Structure 1
Amino acid sequence: MLKDCKASNLDIIFIQEMRRLGEGSVSHEGYNVYWSDMKVKHLYGVGIAFISINGIMNISPRLIAIDLMMKGLKLRIVSAYAPTEAKSLANKKSFYRELNKICHVGMDKNRKLLIQCDFNAITSICNKHSSFDGHNMHHDDTFNENGRLLIDFCNRNDLSILNTWFSHPLIHRLTWYSPDGVTRKVYDLSLSGSWIRCFVKDVRTRNSYFHSDHRLLVTKLRTPANKSARFLKKYRKIRPPDLNALSNLTVKEQIIRKIKDTLTTSVSPTQVDEKHNFLMTTLEYAKRSLPKVTNKKHPVPEDYYDDHFKFLITKRKNLRRQPRAEQSVEKMKKLNKEIKRAASKVKSRMLQDKSNEINQAKQNRKVADMWRSAKSHSKIISSNPKAITCPNLAPHFKALSLQSYFTRDF
């Protein structure tokens, strides 16, 4: 097997059903092979073969994990072998508890996770290009108990099934072939978070020339060479859904119809916690179909544009029509700086006018409040409140009414 993997130029190899007693390591064909299995029986067994290593954790006969440093990237890779469908539910839940523990214990914020596992799970999500990221919901036609536990595990830990992010035909997705030559399943899967998913180039199966009923599942991971390039933003920030759109009756009816379709077509769980998670994921899926929040822009009215600002704008338009050269690039940079300075002055003029309007409205409001208060204290007022201004407020009142007003309120 290692000769076949070396001929395929594979750096890290995940092995399930190794069936080698105990825990140990061996070097063969240029690979360092580490395994973890039962001490007495030749059952289960998982292993990892690679060239370099930082730390190894033998969790159980079904789980083994290794911490690696690849070109500045801290990575934890996990090789796992899930119980078959014939095993009890308690045995399956015990496996997922251990797998969930290894995903969190000893994981600092900069360490990323990659899982290669034989899940023995049947789910129609993995048979097509569904782009499952741990959040979106899909109508699952055929699934078994292991498939349900797998989807719940991905939802809890925000893990993506990398097999579903590439548009390969079904023959390049199938990983297990039965000896009868008819039954074929997708059992072997690759899981990771959204950060690692951006650097995965391909996930597909290859023909293996060693004796096994499983085909070789190859995951191509290619990260940038330096650390700073890996943390650059490659995508725009996702805008949140606009909840105010529910005031529109057509949008509201569409959301209600989508929730009803999801609840009727999907199989409802039996336990209370599973019902709660199912309902929350249904509502989250419906919320994502809402229109996104639009960026509210407040442009400056053209009335505030002065002649200098208009001249700079026309000059930049003419410069963009010229052929691109070094001189034009330098001129464009200088011109953009001048336009920014002129635009700040235009905005400051607009804001100054807006602030004056607000102050004037506030002043008129105070005068109106004073008029109502004075009118309630004395009925000897004969002037028009609309004509009152602050400097000429006192002459409109008689001496007695002003004296009683200011002594009571001030």
Structure 2
Amino acid sequence: MGIFFQCGRTKIKRQRHAPTSKGVPKLTLACWNIRTMLDSADSGRPEHCSALIAHELARLNIDIAALSEVRLHEEGSLREHGAGYTLFWSGKPRTEKHLSGVGFMIKNSILPKLENLLTGHSDRIISLRLPLHNNQHVVIFSIYAPTLQTDPAEKNKFYADLHLLTQKVPADDKIIILGDFNARVGKNFDAWKGILGKHGFGNCNDNGRLLLEFCAEQQLTITNTIFQQKDSLKTTWMHPRSKHWHLIDYVLVRRRDVRNVHHTSVMPSTECQTDHRLVRCKLNFNLKFKPKRGSISRRRLQVNSLQSATVRDRFQANLQTRLENHSTDSTDSSPETIWHHIKNSILQSSEESLGFSLKKNKDWFDENNREIQDLLRKKRTVHQAHLALPSCHARKPAFRLACSKLQQKLRDIQNKWWTDLAEKTQLCADTGDHKGFYEALKTAYGPTYQYQPCSPRLSNSVHHTTTSKV
């Protein structure tokens, strides 16, 4: 937006000043169909591909990502400590085939701001509620709509459920719906004013009409169509047979909140071996921070370093010096004073001689993070080259080869990590090192993040609490 001055036949445009801090996006959301990324093993533990997704989200600085086709049973959570995200999902019961499934991947720094737990309404809808400044809230839905070939009764049920849930949201709350709608809404701006923008894409189909009617009822706007940009920054999925690109993943907001949407665009650079592109939406929403409670952090001494003769001698000499100095200088010989000095002498000598152990909750992916990041960077370079010239017959095989090499290298790194951990655990068991043995067990099975959904549908189900160990 600018101001025009006319001088003769020439128009000169003077740009306004750069936007102030009030216009800077405060919240970055994304929606992504990850059909080929997450698997559901018989053990109920997702594969390490969730770590790759988390690293891609961290690279794009995504705060909350709505994931479609997660394909995991029931409900649960998985924390990725290295990338700083936690995955929550809602899927079908374990007795049914693990199709569909929805979820959120949320930054760990945002989790303390959640006033309520995430609610899994079905295998196609999950929601969360975040507090904003000025006593406002935003309700975010992650959805996965039925495909075009699905029975019409199932489509109607999905939109009826979504309509009921949005109706229950307080009128003052903001609503954001993200996900794979499997619908093409077209670009008929004149017929759907307020719902579609002037920059839509493609033609409308039956699923698109259902989505447009739902948006008209709920006063929602499809933000993908309101920004002028290249078609490659709009389309999210390529049809496997026709090879035509379509726009089927959307970000919907209430019509009155469109002014808070900074930008909605596809990110072609994201690549995690899924056939959908990630849609990123930047919003001018400022999350409300909870006041921090004053608490003393607990630190652990490196007691294992006493096995070294040098460290042990230094500790004994330090402690002996402190005790002798007190015995010569002190005049108070009461038991309380003596005990207080002995305790302080031991603690101070331990801090100086042993030091504190660094808290780490790492798995095989985190411990080899630098090497894995180098591999991902090489694969991303080949992917960018393929995107720059998709018609080149040599670049696509090179990209597939890079993906194959990355996958094989990840398996080798993972197997080596587990082999070393197993040998360490067995050595601790053979030598009677009980502390090292249980530390190794905690490395293999923990840490965990408890997730207790509050939806009535989930109250009688078994909740999974898993980690990123594979």
TM-score, normalisation: structure 2: 0.45
Question: 1:24-39 residue pairs with structure 2 within 5 A?
Answer: 24-28=76-80, 29-39=83-93
Match of 1:5 in 2: 57
1:178 partnered with 2:242: no
- Pairwise CA distance, 1:180: 4.5
Match of 1:90 in 2: 153
C-alpha offsets along residues 201-247 of structure 1, whole Å, 9 cap, x if unaligned? 00000022101010010000113689xxxxxxxxxxxxxxxxxxxxx
* Secondary structure of 1:13's aligned partner: strand
CA shift in 2, pair 1:95/1:131, >3 Å:
closer
CA RMSD of aligned residues (A): 2.9
* Secondary structure of 1:24's aligned partner: strand
CA shift in 2, pair 1:188/1:135, >3 Å:
closer
Match of 2:98 in 1: 42
* Secondary structure of 2:70's aligned partner: coil
C-alpha offsets along residues 161-215 of structure 1, whole Å, 9 cap, x if unaligned? 1111111121110011234572211000110112321111000000221010100
Match of 1:122 in 2: 184
Counterpart CA distance in 2 for 1:201 and 1:9 is 15
Question: 1:3-402 residue pairs with structure 2 within 5 A?
Answer: 3-28=55-80, 29-39=83-93, 40-51=96-107, 52=111, 53-55=114-116, 56-72=118-134, 73-105=136-168, 107-125=169-187, 132-134=193-195, 142-180=203-241, 182-207=243-268, 208-223=270-285
Letter of the structure 1 residue corresponding to residue 159 of structure 2? Y
Counterpart CA distance in 1 for 2:260 and 2:237 is 26
Q: Is the 8 A contact 1:129 1:168 kept in 2?
A: no
- Pairwise CA distance, 1:41: 1.4
* Secondary structure of 1:147's aligned partner: helix
Return 5+ residue gaps in structure 1 as ranges.
Answer: 227-410
CA shift in 2, pair 1:169/1:131, >3 Å:
farther
CA shift in 2, pair 1:12/1:145, >3 Å:
same
C-alpha offsets along residues 345-375 of structure 1, whole Å, 9 cap, x if unaligned? xxxxxxxxxxxxxxxxxxxxxxxxxxxxxxx
Match of 1:307 in 2: none
* Secondary structure of 1:60's aligned partner: coil
Counterpart CA distance in 2 for 1:141 and 1:13 is 26
Structure number with higher helix proportion: 1
Letter of the structure 1 residue corresponding to residue 78 of structure 2? V
Letter of the structure 2 residue corresponding to residue 37 of structure 1? G
- Pairwise CA distance, 1:76: 0.2
- Pairwise CA distance, 1:110: 2.3
Letter of the structure 1 residue corresponding to residue 153 of structure 2? A
CA shift in 2, pair 1:129/1:78, >3 Å:
farther
Letter of the structure 1 residue corresponding to residue 144 of structure 2? Y
Match of 2:9 in 1: none
Counterpart CA distance in 2 for 1:140 and 1:58 is 32
Counterpart CA distance in 2 for 1:131 and 1:162 is 13
Q: Is the 8 A contact 2:130 2:137 kept in 1?
A: yes
Counterpart CA distance in 2 for 1:84 and 1:139 is 20
Return 5+ residue gaps in structure 2 as ranges.
Answer: 1-52, 289-470
TM-score, normalisation: structure 1: 0.51
Aligned pair count?
225
C-alpha offsets along residues 104-140 of structure 1, whole Å, 9 cap, x if unaligned? 22x22321100002111122128x8999523999999
Counterpart CA distance in 2 for 1:71 and 1:177 is 40
Letter of the structure 2 residue corresponding to residue 160 of structure 1? T
Match of 2:362 in 1: none
- Pairwise CA distance, 1:48: 0.6
Structure label with greater radius of gyration:
1
